[in-house]
Chains A and B, each alone.
Chain A
């Protein structure tokens, strides 16, 4: 599903050049649950952004669904993104002015799903996250855990093949964190490919594969169980 070849990302400001990703070679297959770990500033989020087509690499090749996308335009990336990729963020990133229902509905609007079908899918997604009773509330009226469940519902409502989560538990206490991770695990079991960035080793263990990043390099890459051996 994902294959990168010598992927590089360099940030340039007026005086400083920062290399966030350096020669990253990575392959992620359909149905995998990959966890990315590493210290602050090692390039985890950058990698996720590039994989999620939010950002384009400075150099190297990136094959997404067997297409070389590194040179795609903003418009092409947006189109690819909305059809195939769901995102979950540490800070939830729900739109404050929209209700729970409307937040979840948003990706379907961009996909041009007809109204009836939309209603069905949103209701399903909310049911799946057990948040239906809150559908007419605004994000600020919910707890962090609830907000993240809404965010996950929004990420999966369009049935993307790939779900990217950037420290989805980072702003949550452990009870709510566990809850969210369980949901992700369930989604994985149903066939969604998941890539998650996390600080917490216990959550990294949900993954079938663990990638350690340091200073923009992949330092270890272990299949589950191998890291603990």
Chain B
């Protein structure tokens, strides 16, 4: 019997090719989308789980409030690891590492700027399971000046020659490091990446005993059966023992006074496996994933599948007339309803099986482009995880059952007496249900169109927004201090070149790191004789230093006072502030006012000499914060504003100059506009993924509509024939058929608009600077969907309308 079901199903698939194509194609895309998203989710959830002790490993993160400044950071101080090991028996192990920033690394004549350096404790490999390919994990990081390279780095420096025992020199002081191990490249699903591990004992920073300086990363392994909450409960004792004395020593304030003034400083534990998706602190090691995006993508993938299922339901019921006779015959021959239901569900599962096979191929094909768009590196190995295979099988059967149930019960309910007479009365009753499903499909499509449009409008907005300075045609050269005492000469040399309009050095540049945070106050600190206070009046401002040419190079607008000038010796103790500073202090006329560094009597004082218009030095996700600029020529960045035109030639020229000044230091640069764009990379890839999904959704929905229109046209063949015989014109008939679907589309719009409105307002709240939800976006999206739908339907409508009426009437 089962064979008979399969036989008839396959013959039906082959005979009704359009119908089969629409269904299988829709299922394929739906299942492929789900599969891709499943891979994506799996990847995101797999972060850091490859470490054997992952489930009991925690990162120690810092949490502080000083003055009005709140800090939550992934950093912790150097002595905590040893402190935790000594104080808490439930701590099995604790390891630390820190990133020294970009370093020049040399091997013979090879010279690279390396950013992926970590100074790591000797027990690094005891906590993290990065496999050593060569060397001993227990001792590789023990001795000072040891270095462990990743496979990739070893290849880069030594090719296929053995790396162990070779010497690399690192940093400006050319410290020699001996290679003691080669480690596998950290996998994609590690929340931190590195290409070289240096022994912590090589750096004196690891020996720091200051509990108040948070600059490295500490990971703690708890012994089996201990909860992080229980450990956290013991933290206050630790604070009293180690931090309170240091607070008194360094800041001159007792722990009790400090807390009484509303301040706090402390730590908390983050499960290692939740860092990637759920941690968003300062100084994260990598940008991290966004769980919201996972939900959105999952929802979209499931909806695409649902839309494909709806196509199946719609088309199956619409063309039920052609299966009605079979149902009748089978019933006459003694088939029970349940037999028929089983038959039709078998058939829909067959469709979904075929689609799943195709979907696997599709995923193989699109995985590389998808990875590029999403900026990830997924791999697809179907049989690697049993649950992957199992969920695919489950999905296949589920799709078959969801899509097949309604048509199965619908078809199986036909009465043989009705259907065997040759009268095609069936297939009409389910019309309202089908319309409902079409409305649902298009409501979803329209919602997606609106969302895509708004995502791209917002991205366009942030890209083109006036930032308060001109980010175009600016080349940034980092690590300028490597030139030592020739920085000024180099800058001067560049300024004299004709393609370069201006050049400036600074300690921080927009969209980059380098902005320090310091507490300031508007009034001089009182000498209470009891040490400093940290209260709400202490404002945390970003601060940086720059030279005389900074404002001009950046094209920033001075709206009060003046720029720094060599004519005023006093400018060494002067600030140029942005408007946000004045606002925060409530100053109407800031020029000439003094700003004090929080602390006690004798702390430096700065006079405000100029005010610049607020500018976006951070991503547009964030409000513009107060920032103060002091005069300084020791900044590590050089910015060169260049003439538009042959950028490559200018770049080559700059590089040649660099080589003249520093033949042994690799040249590095970036473009400021690209750095800014990079801040929105996540949103851009999000937008692109959503737009592809939108395209697919609309396409599948339209395929369904196309099929449905075909059957509607067929069903109304007689009506069209009669109308034409009575003198209806082709446009009138096309209009008649189009009207039915136009109504559905309008209803779909009414449903889609408020939902899209709500969802997109939520999304836009990610941005401090955002577009408004203009009504025309909704109108355009609705019109677009209507247009696409009408084009789809019109093919069938025109076909029906231009047919010879005699043909149509003879049909009965």
User: Which A residues form the contact surface with B (CB < 8 A)?
Assistant: 45, 49, 52, 54-55, 74-75, 78-79, 81-83, 87, 89, 91, 93-98, 102, 105-107, 109-111, 154
A146 CB to closest chain B CB (Å) equals 17
A157 to B4, CA, bound (A): 17
Partner of A109, one of B1, B417, B420, B422: B1
B339, closest chain A residue (CB):
A110
User: Given that A95-B326, A98-B8 are contacting pairs, would A87 and B339 also be in contact in the complex, using a CB cutoff of 8 Å?
Assistant: no
B319 CB to closest chain A CB (Å) equals 13
User: Given that A93-B420, A98-B7 are contacting pairs, would A78 and B335 also be in contact in the complex, using a CB cutoff of 8 Å?
Assistant: yes
CB pair A83–B326 under 8 Å, yes or no, is no
**A-side contacts of B329, CB under 8 Å:** 93-95, 106
- Does B333 make an interface contact (CB < 8 A)? yes
Interface of A is mostly: helix
Partner of B333, one of A45, A79, A82, A102: A82
B side interface size, CB within 8 A:
27
Interface residues of B in 414-459 (CB under 8 A from A): 415-417, 420-422
A-B contact pairs, 7 of them (CB 8 A): A55-B415, A78-B331, A78-B334, A78-B335, A82-B335, A91-B420, A98-B7
A94, closest chain B residue (CB):
B329
A187 CB to closest chain B CB (Å) equals 17
**A-side contacts of B11, CB under 8 Å:** 97-98
CB pair B334–A54 under 8 Å, yes or no, is no
**B-side contacts of A102, CB under 8 Å:** 4, 7
**A-side contacts of B339, CB under 8 Å:** 110
CB pair B335–A110 under 8 Å, yes or no, is yes
**A-side contacts of B417, CB under 8 Å:** 49, 54-55
CB pair A54–B333 under 8 Å, yes or no, is no
CB pair A54–B337 under 8 Å, yes or no, is no
A32 to B397, CA, bound (A): 51
- Does B336 make an interface contact (CB < 8 A)? yes
A178 CB to closest chain B CB (Å) equals 24
A103 CB to closest chain B CB (Å) equals 9
- Does B30 make an interface contact (CB < 8 A)? no
A75 to B331, CA, bound (A): 10
Partner of B334, one of A45, A82, A98: A82
**A-side contacts of B330, CB under 8 Å:** 95, 106, 110
A97 to B361, CA, bound (A): 30
- Does B649 make an interface contact (CB < 8 A)? no
Partner of A97, one of B8, B328, B415: B8
Interface residues of B in 387-427 (CB under 8 A from A): 415-417, 420-422
A87 to B335, CA, bound (A): 13
CB pair A97–B15 under 8 Å, yes or no, is yes
CB pair B334–A111 under 8 Å, yes or no, is yes
B16 CB to closest chain A CB (Å) equals 10
A97 to B8, CA, bound (A): 6
A113 to B331, CA, bound (A): 17
A97, closest chain B residue (CB):
B11
- Does B325 make an interface contact (CB < 8 A)? yes
Partner of A75, one of B326, B337, B415: B337
CB pair B8–A109 under 8 Å, yes or no, is no
Cβ proximity bits B354-382 to A, threshold 8 Å, 1 near / 0 not: 00000000000000000000000000000
A97 to B325, CA, bound (A): 11
**B-side contacts of A55, CB under 8 Å:** 415, 417
B4, closest chain A residue (CB):
A109
- Does B12 make an interface contact (CB < 8 A)? yes
